[in-house]
Chain A
Amino acid sequence: MCLGIPGRIVDRRDDAGLPVGTVDFGGVRREVCLAYVADEASVGDYVVVHVGFAISKVDEEEAHRTFQVLREMSQLDELDWMADLADAAEGVQP
């Protein structure tokens, strides 16, 4: 019910005083009310859409940062894992 899906704003217009626009969700396009992100989101930005309303602009920088942290974590774990393997291998050597 609280489903929110990210999509990209492809156009923006005014519907009798209400800011609305078309948002592209990976190929599917829908009309979305932009009133709650009117000051921050423009054409080309990603927004999170819930029941036909954009409720936030996706912060691309933060999104990338989250990934970087996760990737580094994963690489570190891989290094740890290789180190463990190396230790284990050493253990069996005479």
Chain B
Amino acid sequence: MKYLSEYRDPALARTLVDRILRTSTKRWTLMEVCGGQTHTIVKQGIHEVLADAVEMIHGPGCPVCVTPLEQIDRALHLAARPDVIFTSFGDMLRVPGSECDLFQVKARGGNVRIVYSPLDAVELARRHPDREVVFFAVGFETTAPANAMAVWRARELGVDNFSVLVSHVTVPPAMVAILEDPGNRVQGFLAAGHVCTVMGWEEYDPLAERYAVPIVVTGFEPLDILEGIWMAVVQLEEGRHEVENQYVRSVRREGNRPAQELVSRVFHVVDRGWRGIGTIPASGLGLRPEFAAFDAERKFDLHHIRAEEPAECRAGDVLRGHIKPFECPAFGGACTPESPLGAPMVSTEGACAAYHNFGRFQAAAAGGA
């Protein structure tokens, strides 16, 4: 496939690995923000071959993993209602709520459907005017334009039996929270390429400046990630801290303006809870008051549903980079991908699941990571 297989070329990957190993004079600590990158890094063992030059900390960049327990419980409540068709991206179905997950609700007769695009949920609502169709609108800035369009379209077409349960989060506030943490060890970031495809990277300039950290906008294929790491290491070695763009084939400085425009018409910035981390001010998106009619929380009066996160799960420490997944006492025992305690064990992009699935944790542990 064009623009895909080339970025997996092993010979070129070797070149980059050698360069990184030769360039670094000490061991730098980098964080990849995006769960998609975590998946590739752990699957390909990139963190292992580079262990002498960089320690990779896996950041909070998996929207599935950070969706608060409370929102999951609200989703479960809606999905169990006989008048509701609950729609979601597939990766949300196994995320554990306080008592069960969406799959179990489905097995008990709940009408839960996986959609590929949020517009499919709007279409479903059109075809079932006698039902309430709710879409679980989660995601980072990458997904916000799609979800915004669904709401916009529903209003345009007068589909009033459609609503969204919103749990949108944004990346820069999470990076600030990590950098402000007194225990922070992150010296440079790989910023998420598809988030920046939508948002551009203007927001990152003040961060790189203020916290003196290099930020490299990076793609998702192995070569992209290696090149991103290489660019960050070169900056650190040279004492620079700038925003650079590795993912030039998709990311423009200003991002995708039409997408940003629709997002800001439908959503506005709100405080959001992050699973395992807690509330981060101005770190998410919620529906603007003009679209309140499409707000599932309001329509079904869900505000009374509250939840406490289980104490054993160390997701917050994992997502902040304080511990590696295998350092969590529950890892691989009480918590496995088959029966996850916390969200990072569910999604293939979650750090815990990535370590578990690829069996890399022993090697990494032995390497003193």
Which residues of A come within 8 Å of B, CB atoms? 1-6, 8, 16-18, 25-26, 30, 33, 35-39, 46, 48, 50-53, 55-56, 58-60, 62-63, 65-67, 70-71, 73-74, 77
Given contacts A48-B250, A51-B146, A55-B259, contact A4 B91 (CB under 8 A): no
Assess the A50–B143 pair: CB atoms within 8 A.
yes
Assess the A53–B146 pair: CB atoms within 8 A.
yes
Give me the 3 closest cross-chain CB pairs, A-B, nearest first.
A52-B117, A26-B1, A63-B249
CB neighbours (8 Å) of B16 from chain A are 70, 73
Q: Counting CB contacts under 8 A, is B307 at the interface?
A: no
Assess the B91–A1 pair: CB atoms within 8 A.
yes
- Give min CB distance, B69 to chain A, whole Å: 18
- Within the assembled complex, what's the spacing in Å between the Cα atoms of A20 and B192? 26
- Give min CB distance, B224 to chain A, whole Å: 9
* A52 touches which of B15, B61, B118 (Cβ 8 Å): B118
Assess the A59–B143 pair: CB atoms within 8 A.
no
Given contacts A35-B258, A51-B116, A56-B251, contact A1 B15 (CB under 8 A): no
Binds A, one of B43-51, B149-157, B232-240, B281-289: B149-157
Given contacts A38-B258, A70-B15, contact A1 B145 (CB under 8 A): no
Which residue among A1, A36, A52, A63 has the maximum number of chain B CB atoms within 10 Å of its CB? A1
A–B pairs, 19, beta carbons within 8 Å: A1-B36, A1-B89, A1-B140, A2-B36, A2-B142, A4-B142, A6-B3, A35-B258, A36-B256, A39-B258, A48-B250, A51-B89, A53-B145, A55-B198, A63-B249, A67-B6, A70-B12, A74-B15, A77-B15
- Within the assembled complex, what's the spacing in Å between the Cα atoms of A17 and B214? 43
Q: Counting CB contacts under 8 A, is B353 at the interface?
A: no
- Give min CB distance, A49 to chain B, whole Å: 10
Assess the B36–A36 pair: CB atoms within 8 A.
no
Q: Counting CB contacts under 8 A, is B202 at the interface?
A: no
Residue in chain B with minimal CB distance to A4 = B194
B residues 329-352 touching A (CB-CB < 8 Å): 347, 349
- Give min CB distance, B328 to chain A, whole Å: 22
CB neighbours (8 Å) of A3 from chain B are 36, 194, 220
Taking A2-B63, A8-B2, A55-B194 as given, write out 6 further A-B residue pairs in contact, using a Cβ cutoff of 8 Å, ordered by the A residue number.
A1-B143, A53-B117, A55-B259, A66-B248, A67-B6, A74-B12
CB neighbours (8 Å) of B349 from chain A are 1
Assess the A55–B251 pair: CB atoms within 8 A.
no
Q: Counting CB contacts under 8 A, is B62 at the interface?
A: yes
Which residue among B118, B198, B347 has the maximum number of chain A CB atoms within 10 Å of its CB? B198
Q: Counting CB contacts under 8 A, is B244 at the interface?
A: no
CB neighbours (8 Å) of A48 from chain B are 194, 197, 250
Interface size class on chain B is: 35 or more
Residue in chain B with minimal CB distance to A46 = B3
Assess the A2–B119 pair: CB atoms within 8 A.
no
Assess the B139–A62 pair: CB atoms within 8 A.
no
Q: Counting CB contacts under 8 A, is B227 at the interface?
A: yes
Given contacts A36-B256, A77-B15, A77-B19, contact A2 B249 (CB under 8 A): no
CB neighbours (8 Å) of A36 from chain B are 145, 256, 258-259, 262
CB neighbours (8 Å) of B18 from chain A are 77
- Within the assembled complex, what's the spacing in Å between the Cα atoms of A73 and B227? 11
Q: Counting CB contacts under 8 A, is B34 at the interface?
A: yes
Q: Counting CB contacts under 8 A, is B64 at the interface?
A: yes
- Within the assembled complex, what's the spacing in Å between the Cα atoms of A55 and B337? 31
Assess the B250–A2 pair: CB atoms within 8 A.
no
Given contacts A36-B145, A53-B146, contact A4 B62 (CB under 8 A): no
- Within the assembled complex, what's the spacing in Å between the Cα atoms of A61 and B314? 45
Assess the B119–A33 pair: CB atoms within 8 A.
yes
- Give min CB distance, A44 to chain B, whole Å: 12
CB neighbours (8 Å) of B195 from chain A are 2
- Within the assembled complex, what's the spacing in Å between the Cα atoms of A35 and B145? 10
* B4 touches which of A6, A35, A37, A56 (Cβ 8 Å): A6
Q: Counting CB contacts under 8 A, is B120 at the interface?
A: yes
- Within the assembled complex, what's the spacing in Å between the Cα atoms of A2 and B138? 11
- Within the assembled complex, what's the spacing in Å between the Cα atoms of A16 and B258? 19
- Within the assembled complex, what's the spacing in Å between the Cα atoms of A52 and B300? 28
